[in-house]
Amino acid sequence: MENDKTLINEIENISDAIFEHFSFVVDKGQSPLRIDKFLMSRIENATRNKIQQAAKAGYIFVGEKPVKSNYKVKKGDNIKVLFDHPPYQNLLKPEPISLEIIYEDDALIVLNKPPGIVVHPGHGNYQGTLLNGLLYHFNQLPKNENERPGIVHRIDKDTSGLLVIAKTEFAMTNLAKQFFDKTTERIYNALVWGDFEEDKGTFEGAIGRHPKNRLQMSVYEDNSKGKEALTHFKVLERFRYVTLVECQLETGRTHQIRAHMKHFGHTLFNDSRYGGDSILKGTSFSKYRHFIENCFKILPRQALHAKTLGFKHPLSGEDLQFDSQLPKDFMGVLKKWRSYIASKGL
């Protein structure tokens, strides 16, 4: 036991440079399950082979003891996983990635992120990120507290839309404070399952990690289990089975719109992580099912776009607001729904 504890301590002493950490406590309702299968549902982009290799190398621990990939987890198990990867500073390499720049001056950049690209390097995404492209196009960017040059805020990999990037230390500090103080304007367009009774309203509920699936966020009435979150919504267009809505964030929590919409019965269209890639509203007829499958092919991601971004310029104090068009895949699905509703006379 003492040798196992010494081993894990030695690994952790060097892990800031060459390992990624994940830790979980198995909840009371968990039935016996192989640890490799258990971890696959909780670590994003981790394949079963990668988990098995980590177990083989002795980098998966229950308590202080390394376990094999066929170990059966049980309630109360304290699991720690270490994955080796290049040092983070080695991931910050310039790459010739195209950027759609909406606005640029000496202090900041506003760009339109396409779907399918990650904002910065992380587990399973070591190359080809937006940050790699920024480092290629701009010689120097200030580092934030997480050593991520220029990054003030993020949007998910498969969410498209507007981001502001800081070019100076002062701009980074100023913009970060605006986001912290909730004085920025962030408006998204989302296509969600189901119809709304009201034309507008507010979803309120603290957001924290899902107790079983660590890749999801959940909504809690108890703020001690999450952070306060407010999402204002307005219906833009109704398609009977799905609805196009505008979402304005008063807070900016991880997966806020995705979690709020699911919790209140309107999961984002084709949001695979939250179950939106199944037919949640509509008929079971084969023609309708075929129609939905075609929609999923046109838009192979969650239907979410960061459309509007507003903030004060860090130097002049001028109010800036930027707007972006919906990307082609999103527009393609809306066109398909309009045609479907028209053909049915709905």
Q: Please give the structure tokens belonging to residue 107.
A: 């202090």
- Round to whole Å and give the CA distance between 195 and 268: 12
Residue-wise pLDDT tens digits, 28-76: 888 889 999 999 888 876 788 888 888 888 888 898 788 999 999 998 8
Query: Catalytic annotation on 156?
Result: yes
Helix (H, G, I), strand (E, B) or coil at 306: strand
Q: What percent of the chain has pLDDT over 90?
A: 58
Residues 6 or more apart whose CB falls under 8 angstroms from that of 148 comprise 120, 131
218, 209 Cβ separation under 8 angstroms:
yes
Range of the domain at 252: 185-344
Does residue 346 register a pLDDT over 80?
A: no
From residue 225, how far is each of 13, 209, 211, 256, 272 by CA, in Å?
31, 8, 10, 15, 24
Residues 44 and 176 in one domain: no
243, 196 Cβ separation under 8 angstroms:
yes
What CATH number corresponds to the domain at position 137?
3.30.2350.10
Q: What is the pLDDT of residue 123?
A: 58
Q: Please give the structure tokens belonging to residue 195.
A: 């119809």
Residues 146 and 53 in one domain: no
- Round to whole Å and give the CA distance between 15 and 45: 20
From residue 182, how far is each of 34, 268, 273 by CA, in Å?
43, 24, 27
**Average pLDDT value for the chain:** 87
Residue-wise pLDDT tens digits, 206-260: 999 887 776 789 999 877 788 999 999 999 999 999 999 999 999 989 899 999 9
Does residue 124 register a pLDDT over 80?
A: no
- Per this entry, what is the length of the chain? 346
Residues 171 and 200 in one domain: no
Q: Which of 39, 67, 84 is the last residue of a domain?
A: 84
Helix (H, G, I), strand (E, B) or coil at 225: helix
Instruction: Please write down the long-range contacts of 280-286, taking CB distance under 8 Å and 24 or more positions apart.
Output: 280/193, 280/194, 281/193, 281/194, 281/195, 281/241, 281/242, 282/241
Rg over CA atoms, the chain = 22
Q: Any alpha helices (H) in 57-149, and if so which ranges?
A: 88-91, 130-137
From residue 89, how far is each of 100, 143, 149 by CA, in Å?
25, 11, 11
Residues 133 and 31 in one domain: no
Residue-wise pLDDT tens digits, 267-320: 999 999 999 999 999 987 899 999 999 999 999 999 999 999 999 999 999 999
**Residue 325 — φ and ψ, nearest 5°?**
-80, 150
What CATH number corresponds to the domain at position 6?
3.10.290.10
Nearest to 193 by CA among 125, 133, 276: 276
Residues 157 and 276 in one domain: no
> Element (H or E) spanning 178, and its range?
helix 169-180
| Partners of 232 in beta bridges | 202, 248
Q: Please give the structure tokens belonging to residue 72.
A: 């059966």
- Domains identified in the chain, total number: 3
Please give the span between the terminal C-alpha atoms of the chain, in angstroms, as a whole number: 68
Q: Which of 4, 36, 77, 156 is catalytic?
A: 156
Q: What is the pLDDT of residue 7?
A: 43
Residues 107 and 245 in one domain: no
41, 59 Cβ separation under 8 angstroms:
no
- With cut-offs at 50, 70 and 90, classify the pLDDT of residue 13: very low
